Structure 1
Amino acid sequence: MMREPFRIGVDLGGTKTEAIAMGPMGETLARRRAPTPAHDYAAVLATIGGLVLELEREIGGRGSVGVGTPGVISPRTGLVKNSNTTGLNGKPLDKDLEALLGRPVRLENDANCFALSEAVDGAGAGARSVFGVILGTGVGGGIVVDGKVLQGVNKVAGEWGHTPLPWMTPGEFPGRLCYCGHHGCVETFLAGPALAFDYGQRSGAEASGEEIAARAAAGEAAARHALEIYRDRLSRALAGIVNLLDPDVIVLGGGVSNIDFIYEGLRDLVEKQAFSDAIDTRILRNVHGDSGGVRGAAWLWGGPDREGAVPIDPRSPRICGSD
């Protein structure tokens, strides 16, 4: 029987759902994964519930539960909005999970969970303000200040992927149409598919981000040029974050963040674009990799339990972030 308190985090992805049980200091006790039945809401609930119960049976005990999900709960309707797993939109996901599991559930946007994970015990540990960046199939962001997720009154804080790319060149303007209905969103320039599209336009070939990076390392000019353009656009987008939020640390995550090339000289490029004579912002690769989201979901019930800390209580009021 597990005697110490433990946290369960669930990362609800478009293709897979992962759950992790963490001990008081963030140590992994158990982990489970299952395919996400993205088009069947009832099956999504059953999948999450099943993973939680499997972890609890293995460990022996009852943990707190935090869930990272695409989209957010609308403060106005209490229903999921802005999820690219469209079967969740319009559903009371948090309330349904609470009813299923028989306890409070803390639910947060997956990018916010990533940012929280990196702020608690990742690349941004010890920093007062952290901006977490997701560069993957889409582009997302999360803001953590003093160990707490900054949600915003509309719960859209950090959604820099749906702001315009700063200082577009004539060749970039007005930008491609984004699924949100606007042209020129950061996501249309910096998501993984955008990098692949840009490379294809220049080379006439198809390749993933990983393949583009390998071709650039092998000396292919078109691949290197595509990455140089990508890095320039990324620097402009991050300079906009510096100008608006001025965080201590920016942590990059998502598949594109694994490309070494984009870090070469990136901070200098951001410094040239930002409205400052110099910047002290650290721009770092993430520490926890694909586990960032699921760990952040677990940390929604508070940070590491150090000496004198109050143990987590699954019945306590809803907050978002590390205690």
Structure 2
Amino acid sequence: MQLAPLQTIISCMNVLDKNGLRIGIDLGGSKIELIAMDRDGNELLRFRRATPAKDYMATVKTVAEMVGEADRELAAAASIGIGTPGAISLKTGLMKNCNSTCLNGQMLKEDIEAELRREVRMSNDANCFALSEAVDGAAAGAGVVFGVILGTGVGGGIVVNGHVLSGINSIAGEWGHNPLPSPFGSELTGHGCYCGRKGCIETWLSGPAMADDHLRSGGGLMRPDEIAAGVEQGDPLCRFTLERYCDRLARALAGVINILDPDVIVLGGGLSNIKMLYDQVPKLWGRYIFSDEVTTQLLPPKHGDSSGVRGAAWLWGHE
């Protein structure tokens, strides 16, 4: 696919300076969401389209069509940031680590730019979540922010002084595929992970992992939100499951604090709605952190499910 002419890309690089309009796109496995914001982060429009199933070129064209529709509604060109389910390999320029597997091995950034004939900026969806919460969310004004995704999978993103830290290997923040710290008892054997290893943090802290842990402990088949509701209703098995989860999350985040020492950790994903985490985890992580005092804050997201797409829009001016 032929790339857009250089003069077209250069002219589009100045779009943000002219009108401050930003388009953010969250490229998910089942849906593609677009948001347009002004320079102050006020939402101007938002809409979604279904992601073409396992069809790479149809996905690229759907993104281009959505941007075209937004351009017409805005009656002006805007900068474009895209949050992706994986990362661009610095070695090959191809997408990697995408759970939307049709994206892997593709020149996604270049192909979308060729369709749009303008520059786009792209980052991992967890990085976009962290950036959104760092710019104008729960961690606004904090110097170092670690954004956590606790959902179907476990991921993370790092923002330092308003800029995404991607790392030399484009894997900064990928804490979900480190081993669970300080395992004991049944944790020592670990569980297999799709990455090919055993005992990854993701296999203990994802939503499916919590449900599996509850089932293995005799609590029956329940979703995480049902387990949290069971705690409120006084179910002891639900409480034991959530207490185990809190301790594992405390150990995992203590490892992050020992290395990164962030000002704020913001939780995202479906499990971030469990209120008990914000009370219990900070009470537990001190025993695993190499400091006599821990002032890192653990906070829920301000923008909730919108953080990913908002963070994509903020990629312009915050890289």
TM-score range, shorter chain: over 0.9
Secondary structure at 1:65 match in 2: strand
The answer to whether 1:200 aligns with 2:215 is: yes
Amino acid in structure 2 at the alignment position of 1:295: R
Aligned to 2:160: 145
Q: Kindly tell me the number of residue pairs found equivalent between the two proteins.
A: 303
Displacement of 1:204: 4.8
Aligned to 1:102: 117
**TM superposition outliers: structure 1 runs of 4+ over 6 Å:** none
Secondary structure at 1:247 match in 2: coil
Q: 1:61 aligns with which of 70, 76, 82?
A: 76
Aligned to 2:303: 288
The answer to whether 1:233 aligns with 2:248 is: yes
TM-score, normalised by the number of residues in structure 1: 0.92
The answer to whether 1:190 aligns with 2:205 is: yes
Contact 2:128-2:308 within 8 A present in 1 as well: yes
Aligned to 1:132: 147
Displacement of 1:174: 2.8
Aligned to 2:233: 218
Q: 1:265 aligns with which of 280, 286, 289?
A: 280
Contact 2:83-2:122 within 8 A present in 1 as well: yes
Aligned to 1:274: 289
Q: What is the Cα-based RMSD across aligned positions, in Å?
A: 1.3
Identity %: 57
Q: 2:195 aligns with which of 164, 177, 180?
A: 180
Structure (1 or 2) with the greater helix fraction: 2
- Superposed CA deviations along residues 146-197 of structure 1, whole A, max 9, x for unmatched, are 1111111110010000000100013201310100011110000000000011
Amino acid in structure 1 at the alignment position of 2:117: G
Q: 1:84 aligns with which of 71, 91, 99?
A: 99
Amino acid in structure 2 at the alignment position of 1:223: C
Secondary structure at 2:247 match in 1: helix
Secondary structure at 1:283 match in 2: strand
Contact 1:65-1:104 within 8 A present in 2 as well: yes
- Distance in 1 (CA, whole Å) between partners of 2:218 and 2:312 is 40
Displacement of 1:265: 2.4
Contact 2:246-2:280 within 8 A present in 1 as well: no
Contact 2:143-2:263 within 8 A present in 1 as well: yes
Contact 1:32-1:55 within 8 A present in 2 as well: no
- Distance in 1 (CA, whole Å) between partners of 2:141 and 2:125 is 21
Q: 1:11 aligns with which of 26, 31, 45?
A: 26
TM-score, normalised by the number of residues in structure 2: 0.93
- Distance in 2 (CA, whole Å) between partners of 1:232 and 1:38 is 38
Contact 2:191-2:203 within 8 A present in 1 as well: yes
- Superposed CA deviations along residues 215-258 of structure 1, whole A, max 9, x for unmatched, are 11111111111111000000000000000100111111000010
